[in-house]
Structure 1
Amino acid sequence: MTTRQIHSSNTVPADRPGIEPPAPPAAPAKAGPDRKRWSARSRREFLVFLAMALPNLVLIGTFTYWPLINNIYYSTLDWTLGSASATVVGLQNYVTFFTGEDASKVLGTTAIFTLVTVGGSMVLGLLVALALNSKVRGTTFARSAVFAPYVLSGVGVGLVWLFIFDPGYGVLAWVLRGLGQESPQWINDPQLSLVMVIIVYVWKNLGYCAVVYLAGLQSLPRDVMEAAALDGANSARRFFNISLPLLSPTTFFLLITTMLSSLQAFDLIRIMTPLGNGTSTLIYEAYLQAFGAYNRAGYSAAISVILFAILLIITVLQLRFVERKVHYS
């Protein structure tokens, strides 16, 4: 018998009636999930983690989240600070704030103060960082001098600058009188008071932005900058087309931290304008309502909750939309 005949005799035609082709082999059954019990080492590592993390979690819950929950509850009360009784009013404190005359003024002052201080600190900080990034003599001392105001006490900084801006006996008034000019009423004029506080706040936080930007500039890849220089790109073009995009993670970090810090600025405003004359931001208005002449603790708590909601919304929006523009590679 030939090879062709053997092959043909062993082959079953698919169209022959009454004969079915062999079934394909069945797929192996999937093994069930392997549930591994914790080993002694895993349990020991988990206990070490609890020993390290639990004290911090307890402290955060006790001094951060529990006061926050209590403050939300206090915002629903009509409560005078120091009184033994309070009346539940629900959302009335919030309605009073948003329908009152001071809401637009306080929110507007907060927006102006935050935008100008954040923008001024970041722009000037970047310019200072570019100057400090050059290799010249004395840059170490200059970096320390620029960063020093950031670590100083806000109370001390406010007192020193208050002596400078005082229209009666301040240093600036003395200089202007020597030039035959009258000193502006920095303290008494609401608009100038806000300008005064913004100048001092930008000066104090300028070093922080400069140091962070300086660290970002020193971490830029030198080969990319050298390649751009060999291609004929001048310094301005290298900065805007290469350095600035590569600094986007640093810019994003500073945008979040400086904005949160500006929205919570208190010490300089309290020292330089005790009555909040034109400088009543949300956090300072909450202080004045609770500890000023009003003693409205429930109303102050409602303003604090509004500030917390604004901080939360701004942070979420920045993480959701602004981070898309960040160049991490």
Structure 2
Amino acid sequence: MPSAQLPRVVFAMDPVHLPLLFPAPLLARLQRTAEIDPALVVRDFADPAVASALAGTDVLITGWGCPHLDAGTLTAAPRLRTVLHAAGSVRSLVGEALWTRGVAVSSAVTGNAVPVAEYTLAMILLAGKDAFAHRERYRRTHTHPTFDETAATGNVGRRIGVIGASRVGRSLLRLLRPYDFEVLLHDPYVDHAEAAGLGARLLSLEDLLQRSDIVSLHAPDIPATRHMLDRDRLALIRDGGVLINTSRGNLVDHAALTDELVSGRLHAILDVTEPEPLPADSPLYRLPNVFLTPHIAGSLGNELERLGRIVVEELERVANGLPLAHEVRHADLARVA
């Protein structure tokens, strides 16, 4: 394609992420596909210093730290026709003005689902082995567990309840297939045949909570899912059950969860909380039945390159007049992250 026909592209994000999202070989591939100045990274669409570049922009490559895309963005970038987001959800990024004008939006959320599913699988396997409790006991006693202390340990036949056949949920379901688990699924948009195809048995939320040994949350953070695991539903999880949350803290009533965890009835593996981070005096930092991590399940470090690669592949489609492979549609935002 002649240089004059290449789309004009501008980065809009916190520049600290650029080197990991687009390492040198990937950046070179991007530069072969578009007219782009890698040194120009927009943090403010109203900044006079970037006005000339934005005026000729066809495509924005956005990421964490990007300003909100609203009517002011359209004023600054009147030629804008595509937004390629090198991160996950675009719900809070893209304003109504862009949807109304028909700007195409793509997200690398599929790539971000991979490490979240991997993290969750690792935690399921460790929880099934009761690894966290055995670690705590080993710290105290400095001795190996007795036969009786390991009688309930193991991953054979564990019932894993997956809440949400989201991208992460589906990635996790694929990863669970080789293991000797019974997999249960709750998702209001999935029928029994589709659930079976995903390797799971479809249940109501209440039935899933009652029957699962380990419950993993992968539902979107939308008004309908706020505190979907409230006090009554948390009480349905069997004594000694494990809750894993790598989605959003908002899905769980954290006051009710804290009560359950302080009592010792449940165990939890939490990569997200409400609020985030938790206050310094939260008991969840100290409880032996809680494994708390600082929102690390998603793409970090060298995993960011996967997101950049998805964006470059989308840009190549744009440059060749092909449809986006990871397009986000406005109508879908009512039920996806």
Q: Same fold (TM over 0.5)?
A: no
* Greater radius of gyration (CA): 1
TM-score (norm 2): 0.23
Bigger helix share:
1
TM-score (norm 1): 0.24
